[in-house]
Amino acid sequence: MEKKSLSEMREEIDRLNLEILELLSRRGKVVQAIGFLKANRGIETFDPERESLMLETITSHNRGPFSDEIIQKLFKQIFEASMSLMKEEVTQEFLFSRRRKKENTIIELEGLTIGGDKPVLIAGPCSVESFRQMDAIAGFLVECGVKILRGGAFKPRTSPYTFQGLRKKGLEILRQISEKYDLIIITEVMDPRHLELVAEYADILQIGSRNMHNYELLKELGEVKRPIMLKRGFMSTMEEFLYSAEYILSRGNSNVILCERGIRTFERWTRNTLDISAIPILKNECHLPIIVDISHALGRTDVSAPIARAALAAGADGIMVETHNNPAVALSDGDQQLSLPEFREFCRAINIM
Ligand SMILES: [Mn+2]
């Protein structure tokens, strides 16, 4: 056999590298096509039986010089890379995905846009307590330029013995206030049995953190003709959060607003830990507007303004904040609600009105 020089052998290695690359790329393309097919048919991407069969076939053809073990390791790497390619293909198919829809989802409601160029401010008390309370708060908020009023009628409380909300009476108060001040109303729906009732009174339906995993409720929301603000579960990953949004989108309701409201960590000086990084990451991954609820994230009022500014700087489409005419006697979440003068200061500090 004719002896090759070192440089000749190196040239050969260079050529072989490119051939391997060419083969890998070809293999990758086929994998993508399979991923697309599986996504459409809802088939699980990982098939361990098929993988071990492939490894068996490959090692049975191995003629060296690499050991079977090394060959298996190398191919295992190729399989893993293929799996992530396939997963990418599947995620692309999700309705929330930015890869599927490039432009932002903009929700228009009575002349107001959520997810457009201008951030929105959602304010109001934790709970609807009485007409007088709501009247005092709403009158003040309107003067500050607020267009969306929040207030809970159905309250998910940690203890069954604390105030559970005024329920239907609360919804009626919200409607009256909405008509008096021309405000858009957002309120929580907790149970599929109340959905029709709440949708009758509210303009935007809020799904609380505790209900982010209530898939039967999410499915029903897909059929409702109202925008939905879905709050992130306090123990949920961003991926789980988006999957929950997908439940609503996939049933035909494309008006979904995400709400980051903090996640539970070991930190006790704030009620939750606001996940600032979730804002730009979710914006990259999906096309839905994102509101940041600073009150439930913080559980305190003293750092409201810098945190709201941070959320806006990170790309939030709006801020939600709890405000009460007399936080000291509020029936729920007293510690985290801004008083009305504090709210006015807050508005000045964040300067989005
Ligand atoms: Mn609250």
Q: Which two tokens stand for residue 81?
A: 């890379």
Question: Which residue type does 5 have?
Answer: S
Distance from the alpha carbon of residue 333 to the mean position of ligand 1, in angstroms: 5
Query: For residues 187 and 152, is the Cβ–Cβ distance under 8 A?
Result: yes
Distance from the alpha carbon of residue 293 to the mean position of ligand 1, in angstroms: 10
* Exposed / middle / buried, residue 168 (Cβ in 10 Å: 0-12, 13-18, 19+): middle
Distance from the alpha carbon of residue 72 to the mean position of ligand 1, in angstroms: 55
**Global pTM?**
0.79
**Strands (DSSP E) along 65-160, which ranges?**
107-109, 112-114, 120-124, 148-150
Distance from the alpha carbon of residue 126 to the mean position of ligand 1, in angstroms: 4
Query: For residues 282 and 238, is the Cβ–Cβ distance under 8 A?
Result: yes
135-169 pLDDT, tens digit per residue, is: 999 999 999 999 999 999 999 888 999 999 999 99
Distance from the alpha carbon of residue 322 to the mean position of ligand 1, in angstroms: 7
Distance from the alpha carbon of residue 206 to the mean position of ligand 1, in angstroms: 12
Distance from the alpha carbon of residue 292 to the mean position of ligand 1, in angstroms: 14
Cis peptide, bond prior to residue 65, ω within 30 of zero = yes
| Distance of alpha carbon 297 from alpha carbon 307, whole angstroms | 10
Q: Which residues pair with 256 in a beta bridge?
A: 228
Give the C-alpha distances (Å, rounded to integers) separating 285 from 98, 114, 187, 281, 352: 5, 18, 27, 6, 25
Distance from the alpha carbon of residue 234 to the mean position of ligand 1, in angstroms: 14
Give the C-alpha distances (Å, rounded to integers) separating 352 from 119, 305, 319: 7, 12, 10
pLDDT (0 to 100) of residue 328? 94
**Per-residue three-class SS string for 192-218:** HHHHHHHHHHCCEEEECHHHCCCHHHH
pLDDT (0 to 100) of residue 92? 63
Distance from the alpha carbon of residue 78 to the mean position of ligand 1, in angstroms: 49
Query: For residues 346 and 294, is the Cβ–Cβ distance under 8 A?
Result: no
Q: What is the CATH number of domain 107-350?
A: 3.20.20.70
| Distance of alpha carbon 102 from alpha carbon 81, whole angstroms | 26
Distance from the alpha carbon of residue 321 to the mean position of ligand 1, in angstroms: 9
Q: What is the pLDDT along the chain (353 residues), one digit of tens a residue?
A: 567 899 999 999 999 999 999 999 999 999 888 888 877 777 776 788 888 899 999 999 999 899 999 999 999 999 999 888 887 766 667 999 998 899 999 999 998 999 999 999 999 999 999 999 999 999 999 999 999 999 999 998 889 999 999 999 999 999 999 999 999 999 999 999 999 999 999 999 999 999 999 999 999 999 999 999 999 999 999 999 999 999 999 999 999 999 999 999 999 999 999 999 999 999 999 999 999 999 999 999 999 999 999 999 999 999 999 999 999 999 999 999 999 999 999 999 998 87
Query: For residues 183 and 204, is the Cβ–Cβ distance under 8 A?
Result: no
Angle at 332 between CA 278 and CA 211, to 5 degrees: 45
What does DSSP say about strands 228-231 and 256-260: parallel, antiparallel, or unpaired?
parallel
| Distance of alpha carbon 248 from alpha carbon 252, whole angstroms | 7
Q: What is the CATH number of domain 6-92?
A: 1.20.59.10
* Residues carrying CATH 1.20.59.10, the chain: 6-92
CB count within 10 Å of CB 125 equals 26
* Residues carrying CATH 3.20.20.70, the chain: 107-350
